[in-house]
Amino acid sequence: MDQKLKKELFSAFEAPKPVKKDAFLRTHRRREMGSVRWLLTQVGYIRWYIWLGSVGVFLLMLILGRTAAPKDFWAVSSLTPLLALLAVSEGSRARRHGMDELELACRMPMGTAVLARLTALGLFDLVLLGAAAPVLGSWAGRRTLEAGVYLLTPYLLTAALGMELNRRFRGAAGLMYSAVAAGAVYALGNWLPGDRLYRVEALPLWWGALVLTLAAAVFETHKTAERKEILQWS
């Protein structure tokens, strides 16, 4: 095309310069949402039966801890995988029902939404375990810190395994394998010799396991949120 003609067409159809553009954009500034408000917003999307189930497991732990012999603390500790399973199942609900692609269309990054829900449930479970530790510890003749380590380690192990399995398997299969992992941790707690493992001399081993499971749970939480971000931008 002739250069002169191109210039004439450009000048004829050139868009006018915007008038009061900055003032207009200032009146339509998008509202920002802080971390705390975002976390509270996502709490509303967590199903009620998840909260109820967590409280139910907490009460079951108290009942069992009150009736079981002090040497059978393993029976109470082996119930904490149920708490982790509830949290993991909520974090993978959209993927399990085939709705993860729809949620990716949201304005906020899906990875932060999943991270917020897992954080909310994790904090709630920590409050429950923190409240249970001194009570169960006093009934079993153990220190609060010792009881807390016994309760938290299988919880973190189940959470890490559940998130890993839900990333690898889509839909109901992920939840099924997570339930199998929770059952395996429960069975492991029942199979291990409680009279030798749940005592003060074995606490260094428990502390080491707690650090490893905590690192694994943090890593899996990061990978779960990262995967959502990759899907959103792919």
Collapsing DSSP states into helix, strand and coil, what is residue 28? coil
Give me the residues of the chain with pLDDT under 50, please.
229-234
Q: Give the count of alpha carbons within 13 A of 57, CB side only.
A: 25
Integer Cα distance of 53 and 47 in angstroms: 10
pLDDT value at position 230?
Answer: 45
Rounded to whole angstroms, the Cα distance separating 108 from 203 reads: 43
Structure tokens at 25: 């954009």
- pLDDT, residue 60, reads 92
81-131: pLDDT as tens digits: 999 988 888 766 655 555 555 555 555 666 677 778 888 888 999 999 999
In contact, 202 and 196? CB cutoff 8 Å: yes
pTM here is 0.75
Distance CA 101, CA 164 (A): 20
Phi-psi region of 171 (alpha: psi -120 to 50; beta: other; left: phi over 0): left
Left if phi > 0, otherwise alpha if psi is -120 to 50, otherwise beta: which for 141?
A: left
